[in-house]
Amino acid sequence: MTYDISQDSISDSLNTKLIGNYVVYLDSVESTMDIAADLAMQGAAEGTIVIAEEQIKGRGRFDRTWMSPSGKNLYMSLILYPDMRYLHQISMMCAVSIVDTLSSILAEESSISIKWPNDVRVSGKKIAGILVENRILESSEQISIIGIGLNINFDTTEIAEISEIATSISGELGYQIGRLEVINSLCSNLERLYFGIQSGESIKVRWENMLDTIGKRIKLSSGEDIIEGLASSVDEEGNLLLILKNGESLSVNAGEVTSQM
């Protein structure tokens, strides 16, 4: 079985109307985020996806490096022009789409969850990350570049620094799978949920139910600060509500949960 992908095979495999209506497939890039942002600035159609075989400077949240070895995983940036009213639901929508995709591929008993705000995990190990970069044009139009990195046929056990904290679809299944199947499922799920949001549905409750952070005592690093508290709930915007040791509550809109118990 071949696991190669190409511009044509991606386009042919998709059965979506919007997501992936235009596919840019590249061999090696610094980051698909920059290619997608340039295309959006030039007026690319909403739904355009940029997929690369490898990234030399793949980036994650907090300017971290996103490991992007060639030919193994999915590195995709999606261009959307969402209405400001539901902008906060975009990253929730992506995380839920990835969970839905994994649920259709992995064994039923797999424990798939989201660590707030949008790390997708299997049995507590990160399998996918989402990076949303928003810009507002002079015309007031909102551009969202949504980066998704999903480990597919990546043997994370070979890399000491991530072997304990990361996994991949092949790591969970015990065998490799075709990336087209994953791309097709992910784009269909993104489209279904995006159309739902556009027609006024909220994704927040589904996203909240997938979070493994709620109810846990957590440490959260936010800028220079480390905040400790009980993660009690999330609000409609996706902010995390913490109950601090002194009983006060705090709403956090960004940061990294470094421990949860």
Binding of ligand BTN by 144 (CB under 6 A): no
From candidates 33, 95, 231, 257, binder to ligand BTN by CB under 6 A: 33
| Interface region with ligand BTN, contact rule CB under 6 A, candidates 3-11, 26-34, 214-222, 236-244 | 26-34
From candidates 39, 40, 44, 76, binder to ligand BTN by CB under 6 A: 76
| Interface region with ligand BTN, contact rule CB under 6 A, candidates 12-20, 87-95, 144-152, 174-182 | 144-152
Evaluate the omega torsion of the peptide bond into residue 117 and state whether it is cis, within 30 degrees of 0. Answer: yes
From candidates 75, 116, 154, 194, binder to ligand BTN by CB under 6 A: 75
Could you count the other beta carbons within 10 Å of the beta carbon of residue 213? Answer: 19
| Identity of the amino acid at 256 | E
Binding of ligand BTN by 25 (CB under 6 A): no
Is the Cβ–Cβ distance between 150 and 74 less than 8 Å?
Answer: yes
Q: Which residue's CB comes closest to ligand BTN? A: 129
Is the Cβ–Cβ distance between 187 and 50 less than 8 Å?
Answer: no
To ligand BTN, the closest distance from the beta carbon of 137 in angstroms equals 21
DSSP state of 65: B
Give the three-state DSSP class for 192.
Answer: helix
| Identity of the amino acid at 145 | I
Query: Which of 260, 189, 176, 160 is closest to 218 using CA atoms?
Result: 260
Tokens of 237: 């915007």
Site for ligand BTN, residues 188 to 227, rule: CB under 6 A:
none
Site for ligand BTN, residues 81 to 120, rule: CB under 6 A:
119
Specify burial of residue 134 (Cβ count, 10 A radius: 0-12, 13-18, 19+). Answer: middle
Binding of ligand BTN by 48 (CB under 6 A): no
| Segment holding 135, helix H or strand E | strand 125-136
To ligand BTN, the closest distance from the beta carbon of 128 in angstroms equals 8
Query: Which of 214, 123, 105 is closest to 165 using CA atoms?
Result: 123
Binding of ligand BTN by 67 (CB under 6 A): no
Binding of ligand BTN by 255 (CB under 6 A): no
Contact string (CB under 6 A) for ligand BTN, positions 232-251, x = contact: --------------------
Residues in the chain: 261
From candidates 37, 40, 49, 58, binder to ligand BTN by CB under 6 A: 58
Would you tell me which residues interact with ligand BTN (CB under 6 A)? 31-33, 55, 58-61, 64, 66, 75-77, 119, 129-131, 147-149
